[in-house]
Structure 1
């Protein structure tokens, strides 16, 4: 007998792929639109005609070695686009890490910061601001602090990871992360209390989350791309783990290896995001919930959709941070919190009604 799939099974699968491509295409178009809008909007707005001219000027300058013939509009657009791109990749990493943390811990309230990895980044960054003169050392110290805490958490919970119980290591790992985060919080408070006045404002802005001092770098994009490739490979196993946690191993899922991959991938995403823009809250919590509520629980679509939606959300939030009280700029973490709290409460209300 033929092993071809029957039409009744092939049609829903084809419709699902077509829906996924449509959703991702729309989100990608919205991502491009949000980045261009962030380039046009600011204390000095760029009309559509000047925006197109500035884009052509930037495209022309891309092939020159070191020309300085760019117009004022092109220079302004270049500054805004670099910040918007940094915001997009940061939001995408936080949202993708949020989906992975929620799958790892089987906890809908988990976010990228729940295990204290951001606390380690905060300790490293504030120590660099307090003790080291070079600004570039802050990003490196933040990344190193986050990786150190991630390795510490894995060392403390490695036995549970090795055994790979379907739900055995969630509570222990979560509790360990809370304790480590509390210790990092104490160190942060100590450094803030002894910091000189000249450095205190910058340290507080970094803790809140700020994109004003970011610069375009390839490393966050490389981390995001590798994480998306890994997510595409693991999505089917994550679906099985989410729906059949107790029987996942009997269904062919290597639960221990899957949990380790989710943990280290989410930790690397969080470390890169926090090292780029500081501790920006709510992106990794509300965006996965919103995508899951709108698109369903299939991680084959949820993982890339959350990354795109997180990038769009943080790009728009940073645009508001630049323009609400222009020319004064607000930390983007304030905007994400002001949007995130009512949005999350609304999501909870809708989920309870359903």
Structure 2
């Protein structure tokens, strides 16, 4: 009789805070409540948050995701359309009004704060520098709050070194995308301030509390990790930043995965012995997927979980006024928190 194989020991450093932030939680609640209030279909412009698990779960409940408002059939114009947590240009709600559509704005309040900061700069006669990533929905939405030509996008320190203002350098103000690397953004701001000493900062930090908190937890957990895993989508800016932060903080290897099924065990074996694993999740990733990852490693390792907690988050954002009279059931809350199984992919 052969004895069972002995599992190698593994320490999992589980970061906290991780996963859903208040803005993501609010956005998902808005779609779930809209389905309760108005019935299916509820249309959602763009992914409500950058997570396929969440999107597929909402689709199973009756949400229909579209990229543009003209995809909504004429016979469904009385049904609500929800704008994603990333924010939209001003032209989008204007288009909704022109089409006689009923919309619910799920823009994260912290993204809306950046919009207001940018508009304040512009109102006070400043040309706005937006530090962010080209093509990201949040950047598109923020730039779309301002008249064309009144905002310039700067992505890197290199960009900051060569960018030339279209106005008097004494009249510049900056804001940032909410999901950037805190350290990298500090470098870009420092270079801009070096070149343009009169550059005006926003009234409050643009990078959101959840982004900062998750990066700080990763910085604490990553040193000495043989492998660091971030749960998140490849189009999630804040999740990709956690992968980078882990490497810079001392993890030997750092990867991004959406589900446990994506773990390539043959590839992981080539990395060498994995004795310490770091684990976090981007702000759009539900906790159930973190649990999936832990279970997958426990099948192969004698794993113990150590918590790396750097902050507690108690933020809560109210849903739209039209939905506040509705109550979420226990089952609804479980769904919002990610405790559901979307239909399998074909």
TM-score by length of 2: 0.28
Q: Which has the higher contact order (CA 8 A, sep 6+)?
A: 1
Q: Which structure features the higher share of helix residues?
A: 1
Q: Which structure features the higher share of strand residues?
A: 2
TM-score by length of 1: 0.28
